[in-house]
Structure 1
Amino acid sequence: MDVLVVGDANPDLVLRGDVRPRFGQAEQLLTGADLVLGGSAAITAAGCARLGLDTLLLTALGDDVFGVITRQRLEERGVTLLLQPSGDVPTGLSVILTPPGDDRAILTLPGTIPALRPEDVTDAHLSAARHVHVASLYLQPRLAAGLAGVFARARALGVGTSLDTNWDPTEKWESITDILAYTDVFLPNANELRAVTGSTDVDRAAASLVATGTTVVMKNGAAGARAWWPGGECSAPGRPVDVVDTTGAGDSFNAGFLAGRLAGLPIPEAIGWAATAGSLSTRASGGTAAQATRAELA
């Protein structure tokens, strides 16, 4: 396989329109609703497969209707699944409330999302891929506690590593220093980069991580992307599109970058692919309906 993605998979219920709840049994009318593939790892895996990478996803799903839907969506995308047993735990679910404008709220039932453990990522899994990517780290505290060891094993096997933590709901950012010591590419947004390093300036924040050998590729919203690595830095613009839904844009960004690097592109070209993939993914509701093809990026 080209890439092993490790992390969360679940449905997203995306609701649009008059979504700010008014209690007291008041009924409200929506303008749209979609049940789509969710989870940062799942959306990244779907994006990688869409870009022609042989993609393996290690995740946990329940034996319920949400698990069935998630498996179907991933298989339709050409993602190969490695599923960990979840017992009677239900599949996770996110409800995304999208009012008019740029804002949104996310309500998440963790369910199976935190089920993965470091020992679930075996050397056999790592050896089967050229690169391993981990997403939604802080929704998976057991995995986070031992991920440094997983990445150390990957590096010893000659497998590349990348990490998208997403936001830490506890804002403690535990284990991150140890993990980044074995991370080839860190893929935060600007707020996550500041939080991880404790620096308000993104250039200084990135420099502190690059000094340890980590390449930093930062999602920069509509402005595109910036990257810093030992010996260089660059930026890439976003692409103008009619935005329908920004859900999962950062995960499609990750897929674009990984596809570029695994195709042998230098970092400046790979972050161009990433910025374009992130932009194009916003053309439809949900994280995967409008993901870029390789032809669109090329």
Structure 2
Amino acid sequence: MPEYDLLVVGDANPDVVLTGAPRRPAYGQREELVERGELVLGGSGAITACGAARLGLRTAFVGRVGADAAGRLVLGMLAERGVDTRHCVVDERPTALTVVLAREGAGGRAILTAPGCLPYLTADDVPGHLLRAAAHVHVSSYFLQPGLAAGLPALFGQARGTTSLDTNDDPAGEWRGLDEVLKTAGVLLPNAAEALAITGEPAVEKAAEALARRGVLPVVKDGRDGALAWADGAAVRVPAPYVPEAEIADTVGAGDSFNAGFIAARLRGLDLPGSLRVAVACGSLSTRAAGGTAAQPTWDEVHNQ
């Protein structure tokens, strides 16, 4: 039996989430007030790891944080949620930091990230025995961590279990360098915009089909339209549950909670449609509170929904 159900390799940082931010902040030392501010755990990898632990998976996380207050905060938050952080690297460079400016309405988020030590994580930072000790290995934020990206095909090749990748956004907007890693990653977990950007296709189903031809199982997060996978030459769609607008506190990290739900469901032996339903439920339920981790559901909550 593997020592861990899941090993997550990727990004971890504090998120400062400011809700009700102005569309164009005023410069010139002018102070403006917002509705609410939250200091929460951020980073796609960290949020996915916490979601998986909340769902009952034995979860380990490997990433780089600084030897600073932000790094200590991040490691403490992960440990409080039951994630094993013993193999994280503490770097002399500062911990990454993200500020999220949130507004109501579609596309109502601006994300500003100071990468700090994130680009310096490499595949060599991941102990080989951990790769062999995990039933599943998940990697996040491909484009924020070029050092890791360079060695990712080999890292996936060492994994004993199944694997997955969430590229997240490409700040450069280039979406290059994925050909080799998609041949070795078992599952790709983009959102709809990322799937379109990676493939250049005009529609989500076409993008999923194109990704499948590149050797990976594409599982695409499609917001209020639920999720879409492409398997055995056909689309598999699952709708999102209806969530009243008034009950949505924050969508930050919902896609990472989706990742955790999909991985947990597959490890528990659910088929593809069933795994998509769990994933969509996890993403939806995570929006009930500010930040990516505060409202992540348990396995029982998902099935009692």
Q: Is the 8 A contact 1:213 1:230 kept in 2?
A: no
Query: Of residues 10, 15, 26 in structure 1, which corresponds to 2:13?
Result: 10
Q: Secondary structure at the match of 2:46?
A: helix
Query: Of residues 50, 55, 60 in structure 2, which corresponds to 1:56?
Result: 60
Query: Of residues 179, 182, 194 in structure 2, which corresponds to 1:180?
Result: 182
Q: Name the % identity.
A: 50
Q: Secondary structure at the match of 1:130?
A: strand
Whole-angstrom distance in 2 between the partners of 1:45 and 1:18: 29
Q: Deviations over 1:201-248 (max 9, x none)?
A: 322222233234421110000111111123553111212232111100
Whole-angstrom distance in 2 between the partners of 1:76 and 1:3: 17
Q: Is the 8 A contact 1:215 1:230 kept in 2?
A: no
Which segments of 5 or more consecutive residues in structure 1 lack a partner in the other structure? none
CA RMSD of aligned residues (A): 1.4
Query: Of residues 257, 268, 271 in structure 1, which corresponds to 2:273?
Result: 268
Whole-angstrom distance in 2 between the partners of 1:139 and 1:268: 31
Q: Is the 8 A contact 1:11 1:94 kept in 2?
A: yes
Whole-angstrom distance in 1 between the partners of 2:241 and 2:44: 22
Whole-angstrom distance in 1 between the partners of 2:57 and 2:280: 18
Whole-angstrom distance in 1 between the partners of 2:84 and 2:21: 38
Instruction: After TM superposition, give the deviation of residue 69 of structure 1 in Å.
Output: 1.1
Whole-angstrom distance in 1 between the partners of 2:84 and 2:284: 26
Whole-angstrom distance in 1 between the partners of 2:235 and 2:203: 15
TM-score by length of 1: 0.95
Instruction: After TM superposition, give the deviation of residue 30 of structure 1 in Å.
Output: 1.8
2:218 matched residue in structure 1: 216
Q: Is the 8 A contact 2:67 2:90 kept in 1?
A: no
1:205 matched residue in structure 2: 207
Q: Deviations over 1:77-109 (max 9, x none)?
A: 00001211312x111110111123340111111
Is the alpha carbon distance of 1:211 and 1:107 closer, same or farther for their aligned partners in structure 2, counting shifts above 3 Å? closer
Q: What amino acid maps onto 1:4 in structure 2? A: L
Q: Deviations over 1:173-220 (max 9, x none)?
A: 232010000111110111111221222232222223323442111000
Whole-angstrom distance in 2 between the partners of 1:194 and 1:30: 33
2:105 matched residue in structure 1: 101
Query: Of residues 255, 260, 278 in structure 2, which corresponds to 1:255?
Result: 260
Q: Is the 8 A contact 2:195 2:204 kept in 1?
A: yes
Whole-angstrom distance in 2 between the partners of 1:143 and 1:38: 19
Find runs of 4+ consecutive structure 1 residues off by over 3 angstroms: none
Instruction: After TM superposition, give the deviation of residue 25 of structure 1 in Å.
Output: 2.0
Whole-angstrom distance in 1 between the partners of 2:285 and 2:188: 22
Q: Deviations over 1:9-38 (max 9, x none)?
A: 000001112444111222211211110000
How do 1:1-298 and structure 2 match up within 5 A? 1-19=4-22, 20-81=24-85, 82-87=87-92, 89-102=93-106, 103-154=108-159, 157=160, 159-241=161-243, 242-298=247-303
Q: Is the 8 A contact 1:211 1:230 kept in 2?
A: no
Q: Is the 8 A contact 2:8 2:45 kept in 1?
A: yes
Whole-angstrom distance in 2 between the partners of 1:104 and 1:244: 13
